[in-house]
Amino acid sequence: MAKAKTNKDLSQSERAAILLLALGMDRAALVLKHMTPREVQLIGTTMANVGEISIAMMDEVVEEFILAMKSQTALGMDTDDYIRTVLISALGADKANSILDRILMGGSTKGIEQLKWMDTRSVADMIRMEHPQIVATIMSLMESEQAAEVMMVLPENQRADLMMRIATMKGVQPAALRELDQIMEQQLTGSDNVKSTTIGGVDAVANILNFMDGGAADFVMGGIAEHRAELAQEIQEKMFTFEDLASIDSRGMQALLREVATPQLLLALRGVSSELKETIFNNMSKRAAEMLRDDLEASPPAKLSDVELAQKDILAIAKRMADAGELQLGVGTDELI
């Protein structure tokens, strides 16, 4: 029988799941309404798999939350400044700034937002016949992981063109965004008022490519380089690969390793550089590092597709933690992807 987890063993997602379970159905539902589709999926899965929860464990998680809330208050602060500060702290400056205008100006894109809750193929089927600029705009408004999944379903010969459109996109005027939302309204549920927002850009393309399969991402980059070599180089510099995890500092790497399952890490480390392996080993206990080394040497060959999937899953965890301010991706830069 597996040993029950103690509070110190819990990941951040498990703490969030336990807190929601402690709140009860009605209050938990109100909290989930304010989360993104990806966050709901992550927390929902964790709630379903969190296992046995002791009363003491639940009490401790709730107490931690209360103490954290007591140290943060908006009283006496300008509301807009408070929202801006909280978002930047939670998401990082780049990601926060891309949505601040919509929040503070009261705008919304309800029709487009509904796409985020749909399955990948349904989204692709809905937008595949639209003008490429419309498709690029819609994908810029999606989470990078979902946009990557949709891109993989779209015809291969369209991907490089769409990426170039996203990379060179500077923004969308209010009238154009309203018109786009009205197009979605004809097929889903539309929205009323839409405000402008800054979307697209090289960072958006780099994020999407990071979530695509290695071969598909290389093909897209080749297509972009063929037409816009300088743009391809700029995108490449923004991309963050599994090998780049070696640049994470010790505190961040230790936090990341607590979130990654050992079998997943074992699979992801196939064929990576000695530098990355040593970085990981050095941030584990001596016994755990020795066991992982032995397991790597004794493990049978694995499919490249399985290795790449494990690496992308770990990268997704790292990016989520970077957005939450729990670690920093890259050295000497404030740009988190």
Question: What does the pLDDT look like over 309-327, one tens digit per residue?
Answer: 888 888 888 878 877 778 8
In this structure, the answer to whether residues 230 and 134 fall within a common structural domain is yes
In this structure, the answer to whether residues 271 and 301 fall within a common structural domain is yes
Find the length of the chain. 337
**What one-character-per-residue DSSP string does 286-336 give?**
HHHHHHHHHHHHHPPP--HHHHHHHHHHHHHHHHHHHHTTSS-SSSS----
In this structure, the answer to whether residues 222 and 262 fall within a common structural domain is no
Residue 336 confidence class, pLDDT cut points 50, 70, 90? very low
In a domain, 76, yes or no: no
In this structure, the answer to whether residues 144 and 186 fall within a common structural domain is yes
Max mean pLDDT range (181-195, 249-263, 306-320):
249-263
pLDDT tens digits along 140-178: 888 888 888 888 888 888 888 889 988 888 776 767 777
In a domain, 84, yes or no: no
In this structure, the answer to whether residues 136 and 209 fall within a common structural domain is yes
In a domain, 293, yes or no: yes
Mean pLDDT of 206-217: 75
Helices (H), 168-273: 174-185, 202-211, 214-227, 229-238, 250-259, 262-268
Measure the CA–CA gap between 145 and 134, rounded to whole angstroms.
19
In this structure, the answer to whether residues 178 and 193 fall within a common structural domain is yes
In this structure, the answer to whether residues 233 and 168 fall within a common structural domain is yes
Mean pLDDT of 103-127: 66
**The pLDDT of residue 283:** 92
**The pLDDT of residue 89:** 64
In this structure, the answer to whether residues 233 and 251 fall within a common structural domain is no
Mean pLDDT of 231-251: 82
Mean pLDDT of 48-67: 74
In this structure, the answer to whether residues 116 and 229 fall within a common structural domain is yes
Percent of the chain topping pLDDT 90: 4
Residue 76 confidence class, pLDDT cut points 50, 70, 90? very low
Q: What is the CATH number of the domain that holds 174?
A: 1.10.220.30
- Boundary of a domain, candidates 182, 208, 238: 238
In this structure, the answer to whether residues 157 and 224 fall within a common structural domain is yes
- Considering only CA atoms, give the Rg of the chain: 21
- Boundary of a domain, candidates 238, 258, 282: 238
In a domain, 99, yes or no: no
More confident residue, 41 or 285: 285
Domain that holds residue 298: 242-323
In this structure, the answer to whether residues 202 and 257 fall within a common structural domain is no
In a domain, 274, yes or no: yes
Report which secondary-structure segment, H or E, holds 42.
helix 37-49
Number of domains in the chain: 3
In this structure, the answer to whether residues 110 and 233 fall within a common structural domain is yes
> Is 260 in contact with 317 (CB distance < 8 Å)?
yes
- Boundary of a domain, candidates 198, 221, 238: 238
Q: Say if pTM beats, i.e. exceeds, 0.85.
A: no
